[in-house]
Amino acid sequence: MPKVRVNSFAVSLDGYAAGPHQSLDTPLGIRGAELFEWFFSTRTWKQMHGNEGGSTGADDDWARRGMENVGAWILGRNMFGPVRGPWPDDSWKGWWGEEPPYHVPTFVLTHHPRASIHMKAGTTFHFVTEGIHAALQQAKDAAKDQDVRIGGGAATIRQYLHARLIDELHLAFCPILMGWGENLFTGIDLTELGYRCTNHVSTERAMHVVLTKDT
C-alpha cells in the first residue's frame, strides 16, 4: 500500500533541522549544511549530481532507499526558495538549476498562486494554495500506486504530523548541537500522535531512526 513518508531528514541532537538566517547564500541557514554531511558523502548524492565516487555503506543505503518508489513530492515554500510574499515574476525556479533531483510531480505549498513549471528530467513544480490536505490529495493522485515523499522543511513536516498524515519518518540524527534555528519538534508530542520507533541504526556520521504511525 502506498505510504506518505519522510526520508533522510537530518536533525541535530537538540532537534534543529535548519540553522538560523536562511538566505540565498545560506539556504540551510547558518551551520545548516553540517546536518547533511552524512548525506553529501554518499554515492547516492554524488550520482544525483552527475559525479562519481562517494560512500557505499549504511548511510548510502538509507539515502538510496529514500529515493525509491517515490511517485510525487511535497515541499514547503521555504524548501523551494528564498522568495517571500507574492511571486514577483517567474524567474525563480528552485535551488537546483534546470534539472532538479525530483523527476516526478512536485507540489509546493504556498499562499500565492503561480503557474506550474516544467523542468528537465520529469520534474514539474505545481503550486498549491489550498493547504496541506489539498496538496496531499493532488500528490497521491499523481503518484498513483507509489509513495508520496514530504521533503520538508520542518514547518511543513510539523503540519503533516499534527494532522497524522505521515505514515513513516526516517530521521538522520547528526552528532552536533545547533543551539538555535528551526526545531522539528516544537509543539509536537509524537507519542500522543501515535508514533513509535520501529528501527534505528548508527553510523559514524548519523543515527538513522524510523518512526512509524500506529494504525
Q: Which one, of 43, 41, 65, 68, lies nearest residue 53 by Cα?
A: 43
pLDDT attached to residue 162: 96
Domains of the chain: 4-17+56-79+100-213 (3.40.430.10)
Distance between CA 122 and CA 187 in Å, rounded?
Answer: 36
CB distance 169 to 6 below 8 Å: yes
Q: Which residues 6+ apart lie within 8 Å of 68 measured at CB?
A: none
What does the pLDDT look like over 38-80, one tens digit per residue? 999 899 988 887 788 888 899 999 999 999 999 999 999 999 9
Distance between CA 143 and CA 157 in Å, rounded?
Answer: 19
**Mean pLDDT to the nearest integer, 7-33:** 93
Cα 78 from chain centre:
11
